[in-house]
Amino acid sequence: MIYIFIVFYMAEKISSNFEFTNVVCTSLDKKFDDFEYCFLKSVNRTYKYLSLKVNLFKIPITKVKVKGILYKRFSGYRPFMFNVTVDACRFLKDTNSNPIVNYFLNFFRPFSNINHTCPFDHDLIVEKVPIDFVNHQVTKVLPFPEGDYLLETHWIAYDIDRAVVKVYGTIS
Ligand SMILES: *[C@@H]1O[C@H](CO)[C@@H](O)[C@H](O)[C@H]1NC(C)=O
Ligand SMILES: *[C@@H]1O[C@H](CO)[C@@H](O)[C@H](O)[C@H]1NC(C)=O
Ligand SMILES: *[C@@H]1O[C@H](CO)[C@@H](O)[C@H](O)[C@H]1NC(C)=O
């Protein structure tokens, strides 16, 4: 009985798989920033990606904080594992200074133009983050338990919350 359970458990582990389920981008201050696009696309069964672009209207931006909260769905979405706010300008000077933020930055670092120190004086682009890349991060680099997740990020410039990006995904 236990043996069967273990085999079943291992089979589950091996097949563990990430899917994006939704992405929602909201500008909280349209004089400051707005989203040109923000979407998920399924090219075919295996190639799916996330893209977004935010236009910044008050550049250069020299003071940015990012708040990240991970939620996992139980009966409703509940905070899970972390709820952190980092000074992005300080963090980007030494990305090893915060391993958990660095782990999440790695999700889109290769696909974006934000991997540089402050100031930010251009639109921010995250282009075609492929699902298999995210899958590797959440099942191999740091394995997460199965479930429905929401990563909510707040983009705070000069201590005012300017935008919210919510990325929903499922690990099965
Ligand atoms: C899915 O689309 C990508 C990009 O166009 C392509 O490289 C890949 O071969 C396709 N995969 C399948 C299974 O059709
Ligand atoms: C995140 O942490 C802050 C500060 O500790 C707290 O005020 C806030 O309610 C927390 N958010 C959630 C969703 O738990
Ligand atoms: C960009 O990311 C790489 C890691 O992929 C890091 O080594 C490098 O220091 C970063 N560049 C800047 C300017 O932050």
**64 touches 155 (CB < 8 A):** yes
Q: What is the pTM of this model?
A: 0.86
For residue 107, tell me if it sits in a domain.
Answer: yes
For residue 86, tell me if it sits in a domain.
Answer: yes
CA of 104 to the centre of ligand 2 (A): 19
For residue 19, tell me if it sits in a domain.
Answer: no
Query: Token pair for residue 139?
Result: 């099942």
CA of 129 to the centre of ligand 3 (A): 17
By residue count, the chain amounts to 172
Domain count for the chain: 1
pLDDT by 10s per residue, the chain, length 172: 444 444 444 444 545 788 999 999 999 999 999 999 999 999 998 899 999 999 999 999 999 999 999 999 999 999 998 899 999 999 999 989 888 888 888 888 899 998 899 999 999 999 999 998 998 888 888 888 899 999 999 999 999 999 999 999 999 8
Q: Are strands 48-56 and 77-87 parallel, antiparallel or unpaired?
A: unpaired
**97 touches 84 (CB < 8 A):** no
For the CA of 92, the closest atom of ligand 3 is 14
Closest-CA residue, ligand 2 atom 12, reads: 79
Give the pLDDT confidence score for residue 103 in this predicted structure.
Answer: 87
For residue 153, tell me if it sits in a domain.
Answer: yes
For residue 39, tell me if it sits in a domain.
Answer: yes
For residue 82, tell me if it sits in a domain.
Answer: yes
**Residue 63 structural domain:** 24-171
Rounded CA-CA distance 38/25 in Å is: 6
Looking at residue 161, which CATH number applies to its domain?
A: 2.70.220.10
Q: Beta strands of 43-159 (E only): which ranges? A: 48-56, 64-73, 77-87, 124-130, 147-157
For residue 96, tell me if it sits in a domain.
Answer: yes
Give the pLDDT confidence score for residue 11 in this predicted structure.
Answer: 43
Give residue 102's identity as a one-letter amino acid code: N
Q: How does DSSP classify residue 5?
A: H
